[in-house]
């Protein structure tokens, strides 16, 4: 049987008992192995013979390496957690398993999520299946690449702190859905920056991404930041008619020309379908890179403090004083970017600098939220390009300074700092249309993205 079918078709056929699940799952795993050799999407491929379950009928789901899956390598793309196999499941994973999904593997990522191009992976960069000379985007690069390349029905679970779902989704030509901060429990997520981290989904279609959000979202007592609202079916929402779409002028400065054109074509298409286009301004956009990299590194540096080879992280032969031992472990097993961020974040938190950097960044974050709130009083959603550039070639990335890499995040950082939901939907080759909504307005962004996907 030919398994080149959509998730929807897979679920329908499974419901009717028309999928030979042993054959299907063996072939899906076999394909994952082949893709791994060519593109390096995975940290681990699950070779256990899966069973079909209820609801999702053993649908293959890949999980970003930073999300804990019981007894499965969960190293957050880092050498310091090389052989870590959690004794428990993250809440999102528990929910997926209860619905009968098959966890096909753990996907490659930038170490702890530190990166935009998946070139800070301790286990080698994944290659973009649309052009292997180019990056998959980061940090959920393996997740997006595999979603694009697999011919089997599949949905990916990713994670975004500052754009790690939207960016790789745009670069690999798939859909990436980042929910409102707190909608999906972070219990069992290996933290990057706690006030920013969101677990989200990726799929070949808006439906796929929305379906998986329905499964993993919902209140969790184990995460005190988890929002307590009734569970919703995001894949089964009514369409909003004639949405008002805000287009922020600040998001169109210094864009690659191809991206500018593709974005406008998408916006015009939505207009011809009845949407009303409104020019808006988000003046604090230009401060988002500075604010984000102070807040994110401050939080990351505290989170990474525990990896010292005692309770957490690879242990080596005990030698010297505590400080000497900790330094030996951390120097050897953290990558260059992780070390850079520990130093940046620690500096920003030092008592003498707290006011000048960390507290100022927090005020800017509030201004960014206020900008969005003000704009979203006038419009239903905001539409913009996801990334300002096409996926760069590895040879180009080598030449970028860390600061130049950070600046590439300009368009994904503001909504991430504000904790607002966003979805990137392909709108041109290796280009995404970014649709941002107000807190908990997932229905609106999914509805507009779904509409666009159908008419484009
Ligand atoms: N590129 C951003 C960073 O390096 C965002 C990464 C992420 O969302 N995990 O911090």
The confidence score (pLDDT) of residue 180 equals 98
Q: How far is the CA of 345 from the centre of ligand 1 (A)?
A: 14
- The number of the ligand 1 atom at minimal distance from the alpha carbon of 192 is 9
List, in order of start, the domains of the chain with CATH numbers. Answer: 7-240+401-455 (3.90.1300.10), 287-357 (no CATH)
Which residue has the least CA distance to atom 10 on ligand 1?
A: 114
- Comparing CA positions, the residue from 48, 40, 144 lying closest to residue 102 is 48
- The number of the ligand 1 atom at minimal distance from the alpha carbon of 164 is 8
Substitution site in 158, 163, 304 for ligand 1 pocket (most atoms within 8 Å of beta carbon): 163
- Widest pairwise Cα distance in the chain: 70
Determine phi and psi for 85, rounding to 5 degrees.
-125, 105
- Burial code (b: 16+ CB inside 10 Å, e: under 16) for 377-405 equals eebbbbbbbbbbbbbbebeebeebeeeeb
Neighbouring residues of 316: CB distance < 8 A, sequence distance ≥ 6: 309, 325, 328, 329, 332
The confidence score (pLDDT) of residue 52 equals 84
Q: How far is the CA of 194 from the centre of ligand 1 (A)?
A: 13
Does the CB atom of residue 164 touch ligand 1 within 6 A?
Answer: yes
- The number of the ligand 1 atom at minimal distance from the alpha carbon of 113 is 9
Distance CA 446, CA 427 (A): 15
The confidence score (pLDDT) of residue 53 equals 85
Give the three-state DSSP class for 17.
coil
Distance CA 426, CA 386 (A): 9
Distance CA 298, CA 311 (A): 22
- The number of the ligand 1 atom at minimal distance from the alpha carbon of 409 is 1
The confidence score (pLDDT) of residue 312 equals 94
Does the CB atom of residue 116 touch ligand 1 within 6 A?
Answer: yes
Instruction: Quote the DSSP letter at residue 224.
Output: T
Does the CB atom of residue 296 touch ligand 1 within 6 A?
Answer: yes
Which residue has the least CA distance to atom 4 on ligand 1?
A: 115
What is the value of pTM for the model shown? Answer: 0.98
Q: How far is the CA of 413 from the centre of ligand 1 (A)?
A: 9
Distance CA 132, CA 110 (A): 17
Q: How far is the CA of 411 from the centre of ligand 1 (A)?
A: 12
User: What does the CA dihedral 414, 416, 418, 424 come to, rounded to 10 degrees?
Assistant: 80
Query: Alpha-carbon torsion 64, 91, 78, 29, what sign?
Result: negative
> Over its length of 456 residues, how does the chain's per-residue pLDDT go in tens digits?
789 999 999 999 999 999 999 999 999 999 999 999 999 999 999 999 888 889 999 999 999 999 999 999 999 999 999 989 999 999 999 999 999 999 999 999 999 999 999 999 999 999 999 999 999 999 999 999 999 999 999 999 999 999 999 999 999 999 999 999 999 999 999 999 999 999 999 999 999 999 999 999 999 999 999 999 999 999 998 888 899 999 999 999 989 999 999 999 999 999 999 999 999 999 999 999 999 999 999 999 999 999 999 989 999 999 999 999 999 999 999 999 999 999 999 999 998 899 999 999 999 999 999 999 999 999 999 999 999 999 999 999 999 999 999 999 999 999 999 999 999 999 999 999 999 999 999 999 999 999 999 999
Substitution site in 143, 296, 419 for ligand 1 pocket (most atoms within 8 Å of beta carbon): 296
Tokens of 320: 């010297």
Distance CA 335, CA 357 (A): 25
The confidence score (pLDDT) of residue 238 equals 82
Does the CB atom of residue 135 touch ligand 1 within 6 A?
Answer: no
The confidence score (pLDDT) of residue 237 equals 80
Q: How far is the CA of 407 from the centre of ligand 1 (A)?
A: 11
The confidence score (pLDDT) of residue 431 equals 98
The confidence score (pLDDT) of residue 177 equals 98
The confidence score (pLDDT) of residue 4 equals 95
Active-site residues, by number, are 64, 139, 164
């Amino acid at each position: 049987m030919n398994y080149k079918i959509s998730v929807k078709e897979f679920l329908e056929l499974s419901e009717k008992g028309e999928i030979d699940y042993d054959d299907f799952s063996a072939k899906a795993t076999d394909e994952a192995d082949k893709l791994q050799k060519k593109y390096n999407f995975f940290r681990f491929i699950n070779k256990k013979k899966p069973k079909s379950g209820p609801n999702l009928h053993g649908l293959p789901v890949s999980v970003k390496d930073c999300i804990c899956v019981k007894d499965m390598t969960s190293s957050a793309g880092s050498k310091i957690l090389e052989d870590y196999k959690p004794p428990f499941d993250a809440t999102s994973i528990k929910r997926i398993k209860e619905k009968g999904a098959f966890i096909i593997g753990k996907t490659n990522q930038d170490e702890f999520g530190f990166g935009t191009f998946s070139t800070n992976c301790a286990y080698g960069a994944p290659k973009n299946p649309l052009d292997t000379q180019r990056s998959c985007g980061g940090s959920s690069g393996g997740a997006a690449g595999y979603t694009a390349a697999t011919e089997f029905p599949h949905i990916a679970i990713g994670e975004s702190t500052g754009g790690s779902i939207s960016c790789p989704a745009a670069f690999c030509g798939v859909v990436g859905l980042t929910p409102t901060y707190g909608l999906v429990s972070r219990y069992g997520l290996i933290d990057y920056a706690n006030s920013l981290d969101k677990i989200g989904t990726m799929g070949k279609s808006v439906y796929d991404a929305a379906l998986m959000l329905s499964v993993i979202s919902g209140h969790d007592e184990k995460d005190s930041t988890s929002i307590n609202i009734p569970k919703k079916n995001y894949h089964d929402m009514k369409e909003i008619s004639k949405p008002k779409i805000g287009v922020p002028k600040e998001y169109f400065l210094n864009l690659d020309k191809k991206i500018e054109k593709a974005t406008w074509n998408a916006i015009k298409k939505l207009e011809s379908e009845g949407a009303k286009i409104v020019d808006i301004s988000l003046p604090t956009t230009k401060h988002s890179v500075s604010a984000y990299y102070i807040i994110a590194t401050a939080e990351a540096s505290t989170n990474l403090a525990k990896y010292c080879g005692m309770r957490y992280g690879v242990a080596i032969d005990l030698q010297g004083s505590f400080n000497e031992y900790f330094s030996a472990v951390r120097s050897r097993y953290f990558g260059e970017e992780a070390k850079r961020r520990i130093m940046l974040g620690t500096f920003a938190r030092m008592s003498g600098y707290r006011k000048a950097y960390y507290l100022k960044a927090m005020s800017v974050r509030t201004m960014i939220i206020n900008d969005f709130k003000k704009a979203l009083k006038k419009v239903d959603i905001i539409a913009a390009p996801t990334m300002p550039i096409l996926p760069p070639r590895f040879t180009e990335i080598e030449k970028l300074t860390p600061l130049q890499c950070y600046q590439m995040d300009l368009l994904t950082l503001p909504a991430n700092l504000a904790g607002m939901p966003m979805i990137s939907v392909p709108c041109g080759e290796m280009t995404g249309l970014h649709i941002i909504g107000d807190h908990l307005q997932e229905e609106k962004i999914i509805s507009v993205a779904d509409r666009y996907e159908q008419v484009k």
